[in-house]
Amino acid sequence: MKTPESFPQLQYTQEHKAVALGNPALGLHASERIEACALAVRNRFDRPVDAALILGTGLGALADAIAVEAVIEYRDLPNFPLSTVESHSGRLLCGTLAGKTVVAMQGRFHRYEGYSLQQVTFPVRVLRALGAGVLVVGNACGGMHPLWARGDLMLIADHLNLLGDNPLIGPNDNALGPRFPDMSEPYDLGLRALAKEVAAARGITLREGVYAAVQGPNLETRAEYRFLRAVGADVVGMSTVPEVIVARHGGMRVLGLSIITDQCLPDALEPASVPDIIAVARAAEPTLSAVVIGVLEKL
């Protein structure tokens, strides 16, 4: 019986990649497209990158801590998507943070915006091409653990991909990563240990749990929250997992942190307010930023 490793590795041209399964998005991660975008960044910021950050909702304060040397609008980068969410700025911040050279995405992309997961994760390929070996991802999420509160910070230990899709579907480029990447440790154990150490030293309560990614954009029903909790999720959101899959495919170490912005307890569920969610995320930003900076200092 053949194992996945024994399957023939077909050689695809870029044209084949673009038309595979009739989906032009499958050609987005072509090496030429990645390198063209990476070159556009290097033309403005020509330094090897130590770590990359995706500053979703809840990491805006961290952007202020970066000693920024170059700001690059997404619209000025070839093949890059554009942010459409109100709380996501849509630019790369290049500079220094905690003594490390970093490139931070101030604004990420989501499946619910209408983008394919290949489009959502294309920036991760570019960040990897710039040299980043570490990816830090942050997000705002709904909390389903009954003992955790709004504003709590959660270290992501594992995830559930409930998006109904995967950014690695389609022909695989072995130069970017293996056909069947291992996901036994999507969130780096060493980075998680550093985050716990930093949080303990600063007196920060740091939860640890499982993040479930769903498509959105609607929030979940009571029955859906019960289901998610039953299958092992502690929090739920609409991002992060696709980026982590591609980062791990490319050999990056990942640290994931979530801010619990609303409580999603099905027997005590109240209508969610987006302004309230954003307000809670912003109030928790300094805590999350302190953990990230502390981890980068120890790398």
| Tens of pLDDT, residue by residue, the chain (299 residues) | 333 333 333 333 344 334 333 344 447 899 999 999 999 999 999 999 999 999 886 567 789 999 999 999 999 999 898 876 554 468 999 999 999 999 999 989 999 999 999 999 999 999 999 999 999 999 999 999 999 999 999 999 999 999 999 999 999 999 999 999 999 999 999 999 999 999 999 999 999 999 999 999 999 999 999 999 999 999 999 999 999 999 999 999 999 999 999 999 999 998 888 888 889 998 999 999 999 999 999 99
* CA distance readout (Å), 64 to 93, 94, 203: 10, 12, 23
Whether 108 and 243 have beta carbons less than 8 Å apart is answered as yes
Say which amino acid occupies 175: A
**Domains of the chain: residue spans and CATH:** 15-298 (3.40.50.1580)
Over residues 268-290, the pLDDT tens digits come to: 998 888 888 889 998 999 999 99
